[in-house]
Structure 1
Amino acid sequence: MVALNFPKYSFRFKNSENKIAVFDELRKKFVVLTPEEWVRQHVVQFLILDKNYPKNHINVEKQLKLGKLTKRYDAVVFKPNGEIKVVVECKAPHIKITQEVFDQVARYNLSLKADYLMLTNGINHYYCKLDYKAEKYEFLRELPAYKIS
């Protein structure tokens, strides 16, 4: 897999049915190592090890209802009260983060109502804070670290 713009993390791999799999410590199972999964696994480690978000507050690859559509989010970080702190959209490293990608995570967030959005292809990372009262968002240099609120 390609080197990503994250600190170096250690991962467990196995070869299964001629496919490489990586151990997902949140799902507690090996998952096929696709380029997008490689980015997601780095994001999970980044959230836990670098931003100090509790592992039990992070959820990956869950279904989301958007009207009549069923979608899947890549990762979310929950607050202790169950509200959503961060929504993360991961793309494979060769996928550019465009307005269309930003619009995708913004649509997901219509029902999730997160405080922050993170978009990444593993090379470029974008973070923004949402202000629902003023109906605007502000791009940030980095995602805030976990703190009990």
Structure 2
Amino acid sequence: MSTEKKTKINGINFRTDIVCYNKIGKPILLIECKSQNIKINIKTFDQLINYQSSLNANYMVITNGNKTICFNIKNNKINLIKKIPLYREV
């Protein structure tokens, strides 16, 4: 797992909040953390998608502490899921 790791996307440096990896080091879960006063909207979702396009994680989470939204990616489709999966499930 890494926190606040620098990631380069299209030549621009970004900092991912939390990335969880499988046993061989492939990103499997990307978590974007926002302040409680930041609403989760299309802008915050787009930020998560930009990170995911570089990291190719199978699961994504965005949270502001009040609201948490989880997604998985299967067959190039983003699907809303009810909860963060357990490590053994990914």
- The alignment's TM-score, normalised by the length of structure 2, stands at 0.94
Instruction: From the superposition, tell whether residues 93 and 148 of structure 1 become closer, same or farther in structure 2 (CA, over 3 Å).
Output: closer
Q: Tell me the secondary structure at the aligned position of residue 100 of structure 1.
A: helix
SS at match of 2:13: strand
Q: Which residue of 2 aligns with 1:146?
A: 87
Matched, 1:110 2:42: no
Q: Which residue of 1 aligns with 2:77?
A: 136
Number of equivalent positions: 90
Which sections of structure 1, spanning at least 5 residues, go unmatched?
A: 1-57
1:27 aligned partner: none
Q: Distance in 2 between matches of 1:96 and 1:142?
A: 19
Displacement after TM superposition at 1:148 (Å): 7.4
The CA RMSD over aligned residues, in Å, is 1.3
1:25-45 Cα deviation digits (max 9, x unpaired): xxxxxxxxxxxxxxxxxxxxx
The correspondence of residues 1-149 of structure 1 with structure 2, limited to 5 A, is 58-131=1-74, 134-147=75-88
Q: Relative CO higher for 1 or 2, CA cutoff 8 Å, sep ≥ 6? A: 2
Could you say which structure has the larger radius of gyration? 1
Report the 3-state secondary structure (helix = DSSP H, G, I; strand = E; otherwise coil) of the residue aligned with 1:138.
strand
Q: What is the identity percentage for the equivalent residue pairs of Structure 1 and Structure 2?
A: 30
Secondary structure at 2:4's aligned position in 1? strand
Unaligned runs of 5+ in 2: none
Alpha-carbon distance in 2 for matches of 1:61, 1:141: 25
SS of 2:87's equivalent in the other structure is coil
Q: 1:108 corresponds to which letter in structure 2?
A: Y
Cα deviation, 1:94-115, whole Å, max 9, x if unaligned, reads 0000011011010011110001
